């Protein structure tokens, strides 16, 4: 008998948790909403959702001491998946209208406004998967649903590089005004700029791929 992986969605006030929970359940997970450090630490996977402004999300995460919870999981090789602004806050900083907010600093880079004539970027865009991606296995070139005005335009792998102990992150890309980071896979830390839970069959497959790595 297969035991469903236990997934905790971090409860810090983000507004897109119900759709993510339902999508993960359809992919075979048991899903819980919690901000309890013990439950967060014990889960097979932690999802960090995010909608709205970078600064507001960071303020809410820090109020829950979420940075320490995420660090603890990653130090133990325990999976974390960020979604939308949940990807953005993993970078060093976010620059919104000239106001720079410090992020969680898991990856180098600054989240900035997309250089597009019309914002937000809202709708379906094709994602070009990194070679060897497990998250996007079987999904290279598929369209996923985006809702954002900001993104990271630089590759975290270019600055982090690769050492004898750690592989460089795998970065997947999409385009809106310019190429921007659509997803990053970095050991136990994975994140997407797009919303898998709103991306139909492609999003369901992505969640299945992620759960298979736990």
**Active site positions, annotated:** 84, 195, 197
Are the CB atoms for 88 and 103 separated by under 8 Å? yes
> Is residue 68 classed as helix, strand or coil in its secondary structure?
helix
Q: Cα angle vertex 91, ends 80, 214, to 5°?
A: 15
Q: How far apart are CA 180 and CA 155, in angstroms?
A: 9
Cα within 13 Å of Cα(195), Cβ side: 24
DSSP string for residues in 72-113: HHHHTT-EEEEETHHHHTTEEEEEETTEEEE---SEEEEEEE
Cα separations in angstroms, 160 against 62, 80, 105, 110: 25, 19, 12, 14
């Amino acid at each position: 008998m297969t035991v469903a992986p236990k997934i905790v969605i971090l409860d810090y006030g983000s507004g897109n948790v119900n759709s993510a929970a339902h999508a993960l359940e359809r992919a075979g997970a048991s899903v819980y909403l919690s901000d309890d450090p013990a439950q967060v630490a014990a889960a097979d996977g932690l999802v960090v959702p995010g909608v709205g402004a970078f600064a507001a999300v960071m303020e809410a995460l820090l109020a829950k001491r979420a940075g320490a919870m995420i660090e603890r999981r990653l130090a133990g090789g325990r999976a974390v998946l960020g979604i939308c602004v949940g990807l953005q806050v993993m970078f060093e900083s976010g620059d919104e209208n000239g106001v720079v907010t410090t992020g969680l600093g898991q990856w180098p880079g600054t989240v900035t406004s997309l250089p597009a004539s019309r914002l937000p970027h809202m709708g379906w865009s094709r994602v070009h998967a990194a070679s060897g991606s497990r998250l996007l296995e079987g999904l290279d070139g598929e369209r996923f649903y985006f809702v954002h005005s900001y993104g990271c335009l630089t590759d975290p792998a270019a600055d982090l590089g690769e050492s004898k102990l750690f592989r460089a992150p795998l970065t997947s890309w999409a385009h809106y005004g310019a190429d921007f980071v659509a997803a990053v896979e970095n050991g136990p830390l994975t994140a997407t700029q797009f919303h898998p839970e709103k991306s139909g069959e492609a999003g369901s497959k992505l969640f299945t791929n992620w759960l298979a790595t736990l």
